[in-house]
Structure 1
Amino acid sequence: MNHTQITQQYLADLGLTNCPLDLEFLNQLQRKHIAKYSFNSISVLLNQPMPLDLPHLYNKLVAKQNGGYCFEHNKLVYIVLQHLGFKVKRLLAKVVYNRDIDVPRTHRATLITFEGADYLLDAGFGPQGAFYPLKLELDTPQQQENETFQISQKNQQEYHFQVLKNGEFFTLYTFDLNNYTESDCDLSHFYSHKHPEAAFVKNLVVSRKTLDTTYSLRNGQYHHITHKHTEITPITCEKQLHQLLNQQFNLNLDIAVSTYLFSKFAKPEN
């Protein structure tokens, strides 16, 4: 399949064919993407090959519905939007979770310039990500459904992507507007799925986010989050994990894979 065919099939899978290529299109693309395709570290934990060429990304994320992490989700979206004629720019971010720490750039996102304004589009940040692209308007809270996000700037080069938590803005990641190449992204991708201290190498992480519900699994706990309530369920057996992965996260895993993941990452300690 060529770029045009992959773009058409991807948009058809999201129900976005024959739509005007406007800001609402971008909003719906991000919203529908994070609701349909799971964010997960399963390929990392299974030590599977993770090439970032477009045919592989389409086959894994769209055709097989296997999900993936930021370097896969956001590269697919980047290529599709570029093919549609949008002005896009690669971003590499540092995930800091409100800490003043020095960490590598292990997150990929996209900056879109549309009708003279810049937007942060991120279809690969898991349960804490935004529903829609965020306008690059500094220190301006942007309400998205039942959550509030903003972008702040701590110095001339560093931007902070923040979410409102308990009345205060919490920095999820920082980024700059430097020009990054695919080779830069490949290096960060390699670290993120191969370095022994990388978060995705050590943790089973799976999520899917709809307007009503966030489904989030981390190792031995499953979180079912609505705007009114968060229910936390411990994972106690491989059958339970298998049902969650296949039913709540739209995956199609063999029981042998779920059994392995449970034994290595979710099994309660004695």
Structure 2
Amino acid sequence: MDVNAYLDRIGAPRTGPADAARLRALHHAHLTAVPFENLDIHLGARISLTAEDLFDKIVRRARGGFCYELNGLFALLLEELGYTVTRLAARVFGAERLGPPYDHLALLVSPARAHDQRWLVDVGFGDHSIGPLDFTSRAGQDDPGGRFLLVDTPDGDVDILRDGKPQYRLELRPRVLDDFAATCWYQQTAPESPFTAKTVCTRLTSGGRITISDRTLIVTAADGRAETPLATGEALRAAYRDHFGVRLDPDAAFRPPPPL
């Protein structure tokens, strides 16, 4: 991995100790620079989880991705910088039930020479915590993204709550990225997958969040929320380019979701 190219991609300094302060800064930088997006699924492009393909997509081509891609590559960067990283599987809470096994990938990270510290790191859940969460604490944690609480379950898992609402359930057994390949394929192809239902591209901004959902540009800030329809292909491509640095081929067309 070209570590300096990755750090330049997210606008982070090239030097610094592998401590909690730098982890917090890297986390924030990643969220503001690299969008959470599922465009490849709707462009008919296969998502690869190999390190080379992830680096090519996110760093060289300045794209984003979803959890397996974003947290998958971020884990490699943190390890190169000297952090200890454990990959964890999670199941996302839906309206009625938990999602499938390996529904989500999150990271448990310890700084160099501080292995008593453990941080829940997640740059791949879309709108979530702005900074890492203290995994050793079971008290409420205030973050610009909300108030977070980690709750142990009777089965030895950990539920992550945001503003009192369960987000996902972490299993604490260490995993490798290949473990997520089957569910990654399911998320790309199944009609039941939330990622096949519509396109989304979103990232953190200094004042809130900017999102393109299907053909609507959504800007949220402290003073409210504004929505702008993107009625033409030209307007849609311009919005992706100007707000996310994503350059779509003029001939590219989003395919319809799988039939129910």
- The verdict on a shared fold, with TM-score over 0.5 as the criterion, is yes
Q: Report how many aligned residue pairs link the two structures.
A: 252
- Distance across 2 between alignment mates of 1:18 and 1:82: 14
Structure-2 residue corresponding to 1:140: 139
After the TM superposition, which residues 73-92 of structure 1 pair with which residues of structure 2 at under 5 Å, given as runs? 73-92=70-89
Q: 2:232 aligns with which of 224, 233, 237?
A: 237
- Distance across 2 between alignment mates of 1:35 and 1:84: 20
Q: Does the Cα contact within 8 Å between 2:35 and 2:201 map onto a contact in 1?
A: yes
**Does structure 1 residue 197 correspond to structure 2 residue 192?**
yes
Secondary structure of 2:71 counterpart: helix
Counterpart residue type for residue 111 of structure 1: L
Secondary structure of 2:8 counterpart: helix
Q: CA deviation at 1:183?
A: 2.6
**Does structure 1 residue 8 correspond to structure 2 residue 4?**
yes
Q: Does the Cα contact within 8 Å between 1:41 and 1:68 map onto a contact in 2?
A: yes
Percent identity for Structure 1 against Structure 2: 22
After the TM superposition, which residues 1-270 of structure 1 pair with which residues of structure 2 at under 5 Å, given as runs? 3=1, 6-13=2-9, 14-97=11-94, 99-104=95-100, 105-114=102-111, 115=114, 116-126=116-126, 128-145=127-144, 147-164=146-163, 169-257=164-252, 260-261=253-254, 264=256
Counterpart residue type for residue 183 of structure 2: S
Moved more, 69-78 or 233-242: 233-242
The one-character-per-residue Cα deviations of 1:117-176 (angstroms, maximum 9, x if unpaired) are 2111011111x2211111114442222236332322343422222222xxxx11222212
Q: CA deviation at 1:87?
A: 1.3
Q: TM-score, normalised by structure 2?
A: 0.88
The one-character-per-residue Cα deviations of 1:84-111 (angstroms, maximum 9, x if unpaired) are 23111111111214x4514213211111
- Distance across 1 between alignment mates of 2:218 and 2:154: 35
Secondary structure of 1:160 counterpart: strand
Secondary structure of 1:50 counterpart: coil
Q: TM-score, normalised by structure 1?
A: 0.85
Q: CA deviation at 1:218?
A: 2.0
Provide the alpha-carbon RMSD of the alignment: 2.0
Q: Which one has a larger percent helix, Structure 1 or Structure 2?
A: 1
Secondary structure of 2:251 counterpart: helix
Q: Does the Cα contact within 8 Å between 2:18 and 2:82 map onto a contact in 1?
A: no
Show structure 1 runs of 4+ deviating over 6 A: none
- Distance across 1 between alignment mates of 2:221 and 2:133: 22
Q: CA deviation at 1:57?
A: 1.2
Q: Does the Cα contact within 8 Å between 1:221 and 1:233 map onto a contact in 2?
A: yes
* Structure 1, unaligned runs of 5 or more: 266-270
Counterpart residue type for residue 19 of structure 1: G
Q: Does the Cα contact within 8 Å between 2:130 and 2:143 map onto a contact in 1?
A: yes
Q: Does the Cα contact within 8 Å between 2:49 and 2:178 map onto a contact in 1?
A: no
Label 1:10 to 1:147 Cα distance change in 2 as closer, same or farther (>3 A). same
